Amino acid sequence: MMKSGPQLVARLETDNSSAPVVVESGGKQHYRIDFEVRNAPKDAYAATFELDADTYYNPVRTLRPDNDGAFRLSTSTYGDYDVKVLLRTSEGDVPLSSSVRNALEKSRDEMSAGPMVDDAIAYIAGH
């Protein structure tokens, strides 16, 4: 079986009742979200996430792998946009990109079942 290459996925953070964590601000619902690079090459030593420049004060964030060896970024979002990631490896840079909506849909089965998560994804997709 062939192992798939790196991909960007996202999960909504949920509270103890499995509801997405949301903060209302500026008339919008800002959902807490975790982006993760799956199947990163073993020699990846950093990942630069580029978020929407019109929305985030600090849209470019470079991370080292966490204690599990994964590249994860926690932030919030109220809408859909293209997220770009540049994985830094000893063999060269590996670019990745995905819309927030597609990244959430890739890992939908890992999140709480039920309409609250689906409603949050629909809200993000529509903004």
Mean of the per-residue pLDDT values of the chain: 94
User: Cα separation of 117 and 89, whole Å?
Assistant: 34
Q: Is 116 helix (H, G, I), strand (E, B) or coil?
A: helix
Domain containing 51 — which CATH number?
A: 2.60.40.10
Whether residue 102 is contained in a domain is answered as yes
- Which amino acid belongs to residue 73? L
State the total domains in the chain.
1
> Does residue 42 sit within a domain?
yes
Residue 94 lies in a domain: yes
**Collapsed DSSP state (helix, strand, coil) of residue 118:** helix
Per-residue pLDDT of 38-92, as tens digits, reads 999 999 999 999 999 998 999 999 999 999 889 999 999 999 999 999 999 999 9
> Tell me, what's the pLDDT at 3?
58
The angle subtended at Cα 11 by Cα 99 and Cα 108, nearest 5°, is 85
CA dist., res. 50 & res. 59, Å (int)? 6
Judge whether 40 lies within some domain: yes
CA–CA distances in Å: residue 10 to residues 19, 67, 80? 16, 19, 12
Is 2 inside a domain boundary?
no
Model confidence pLDDT, tens digit, residues 8-49: 999 999 999 999 999 999 999 999 999 999 999 999 999 999
Distance CA 25, CA 44 (A): 36
- Work out whether the CA dihedral 76, 124, 30, 12 comes out positive or negative: negative
Domain that includes residue 121, residue range: 7-125
Domain assignment present for residue 106? The answer is yes
Residue 122 scores a pLDDT above 80: yes
